[in-house]
Amino acid sequence: MSEIRSSATLVALRDLERSSRRATMFIVREAGRVVKNEAKRNVRVYHGRPRFDVPRGRLRKSIHSDKRLRRSGEDTYSVRVAPRGWPVRGYAPKIEALDGYMEAGRRLALEQIDAIAEKSWARATRRRV
């Protein structure tokens, strides 16, 4: 008897849809890591006379990305990367104006976004046993 067997196809399509959500999360998270690492690498560290009120490397240590992804809507995920903490709020934008460390991280992430996306897709669609 002739028939069109579509159950396996539907399962595969549904699995692919789930994998797309996972891949989206992987991409965002990995891009956030790239931004964070590049920003830390480019931010300047104070090497002047030691001061008790300004610990050395505080701005670099304060750069973090969100631990949890933000989800808006059904299929939209986002993450924020920025210097965290009130002590650095005052001078982080000023140093950004001088060095552009966050801009460097953003630029690198955009350059590598294709590779990140492909790698994340491969990871998300890897056959799970």
Torsion angles phi and psi, residue 28, rounded to 5: -65, -45
Nearer to another protein, 2 or 52 (CB): 2
DSSP 8-state symbol, 85: S
Of 15-34, which residues contact another protein (CB under 8 A)? 15-17, 19-21, 23-24, 27-28, 31-32
Check: CB of residue 40 under 8 Å from CB of residue 64. Answer: no
Nearer to another protein, 10 or 50 (CB): 10
What are the structure tokens assigned to 53, written together?
């009120």
Interface pick for another protein out of 4, 47, 48, 53 (rule CB under 8 A): 4
Distance CA 54, CA 30 (A): 31
Of 83-102, which residues contact another protein (CB under 8 A)? 83, 92-94, 96-97, 100, 102
Check: CB of residue 75 under 8 Å from CB of residue 27. Answer: no
Check: CB of residue 40 under 8 Å from CB of residue 63. Answer: yes
127 makes contact with another protein (CB under 8 A): yes
Interface pick for another protein out of 47, 49, 125, 129 (rule CB under 8 A): 125
Nearer to another protein, 7 or 48 (CB): 7
